[in-house]
A and B are shown apart, each in its own frame.
Chain A
Amino acid sequence: MRLIFKNLNVLRSTINAISTSIEIKEIVESAGTNLPNLFDFSSFGVFWKEDLLFFLYQEESCPSSFTQEVVKNMVNVFSILGEESIGAEQITLQVEKRKLRPKQMMMDPGATLKSHLTLPLAVEGEIIGCISLNSDQPNAFDAQDLQFLSVIGYQMAATLKHFQRFSSIKNIALYDTLTGLYNRRYFEERFGVETQKSFYSGTPLSLVMVDIDHFKKVNDTFGHTGGDQVLCKTSSLLKNSIRKKDTVARYGGEEFILILPEAGLEESFIIAERIRRLVENTSFEIGQAQVNLTISMGISNFPSHRAKSKEELVRMADQALYDAKRGGRNKVCIFAGKSAR
């Protein structure tokens, strides 16, 4: 009886640790820390279907051949559960090795998987992953182990589903639904961080405003679906033309904005020119038609333009964009009309 109470207490604290976790890695770690008090196992795994991630929390003496067997078994169970088949090589494996056993009970280098309990993580009729307990000992688990594991599995499934929902809310808050680029809200936030960093350290920062030329004509000729296709294609060109540290966002309508950290005037002009030429030379497919389009761009820079605030940098880039439009479009202009193409 005392043992049952002890186990229930461990179960309670495991569930509590899982439900208060804020990321999947933390879930596995908190469960892994508590589980040795409930079960005698060689490895404990959580597979999350969405990211094809398999976290394994295992005894430090676990040989890699055993790990491979565990992965293979999980993949096999997952396919038996009627899910689309996944190759073991598609899975990203994250292994956390811990001392789960006393020295005299270390695993044999040739140890093989002898018993396991694997349960689907099911929420609202959907399988979002699997949870598994594995051992190199035959008949290592009994009915009570299965009961405890299922309780842990239900809590994990609920917490992971919560993460999934949270991540989709986060996506809605950060990304533009049509183009998949960051939205203006994210831009404001990111730009705030970057300007603060630059103003404080004096490192250069460039801002580039981009506008598709004669976009209204596209909408008038091909309708809004055609316009949307152009916006998506332009977004993809922009996204593929920037550096890793840059940010591109949809600013509104047919306007986009680029944050180029650590880019001086010359470098940002080179980047912008490259993008302008790329768009100019791209044939946009709208339904059956092939259309050529151009963009205009305006650049502002810290410290060159001596902006005192982020709002001022935006105004300067906007002014430069206006100059590019007024100067005939399909141009890159730097603030104060100092330069074009």
Chain B
Amino acid sequence: MTPLMKEDKGGKWSSDLVLDLYSNLLTEIWEVVSALIGEAILAFLFTLAIRKLVEKYPVLVSLKVSEDGISLDGVREDCRAVAPIEIHRSFQSLINQLSHLFSALADGVINKELFPKVFPKVKEAERIISQK
């Protein structure tokens, strides 16, 4: 993993920017999907998705999931020396994995609600990364 030493205009590290973006995105996913299937099932699905990916994307190990929601505080601490592209790939895979689970459970019902919200933000993350 390549450490990133570059600051953006606001004085934040790009890694922080990507994390902010995914933090908002995951919070949004949580809000939309928990209203559909409830917190307990959603927490289970998040935990399952993270468990499946954590070996390949160790960044995800510090994500905290409970029935109260998802917290990236631990990730922020542990990601100081992680390249934004790595963070982006980890979270993109997490979202893909979740989307796969949602689709297995409810065909397109959940993804149909999520897609308009998720897609633009993933694109935004890609833009930030490509600016680097």
Q: Which residues of A contact B (CB under 8 A)?
A: 76-77, 80-82, 115-120, 122-123, 125, 127, 139, 141-143, 145-147, 150-151, 153-154
Contacts and interface: CB of A to CB of B under 8 A. Distances in A.
Contacts of B110: 143, 146
A150 B105 contact: no
Contact of B105 (A119, A145, A147): A119
Interface in B15-43: 35-38, 40-41, 43
B104 A146 contact: no
Contact of A116 (B37, B51, B107): B107
Given A77-B105, A80-B104, A119-B105, A146 B36 contact: yes
Interface residues on B, range: 20 to 34
A77 B107 CA distance: 11
B105 A117 contact: yes
B81 interface: no
Given A117-B107, A153-B38, 18 more contacts: A77-B104, A80-B104, A82-B51, A117-B109, A118-B106, A119-B41, A120-B44, A120-B105, A125-B40, A125-B47, A141-B106, A143-B109, A143-B112, A146-B37, A146-B110, A147-B35, A150-B38, A153-B41
Nearest to A79: B104
Nearest to A116: B107
A146 to B, nearest CB: 5
Contacts of A123: 40
B40 A80 contact: no
Contacts of A76: 104
Interface of B is mostly: helix
State the 10 A-B residue pairs at the shortest beta-carbon distance, nearest first: A150-B37, A80-B104, A150-B38, A146-B36, A122-B44, A82-B48, A117-B106, A122-B40, A146-B109, A122-B41
Contacts of B43: 125
A151 B35 CA distance: 10
A226 B69 CA distance: 51
Contacts of A141: 106-107, 109
A151 B52 CA distance: 27
B4 interface: no
Interface string B93-112: 00000000100111111101
A127 B47 CA distance: 13
Which of A141, A145, A146 counts the most chain B CB atoms within 10 A? A146
Contacts of A127: 44
Contact of A80 (B38, B41, B101): B101
Contacts of B101: 80-81
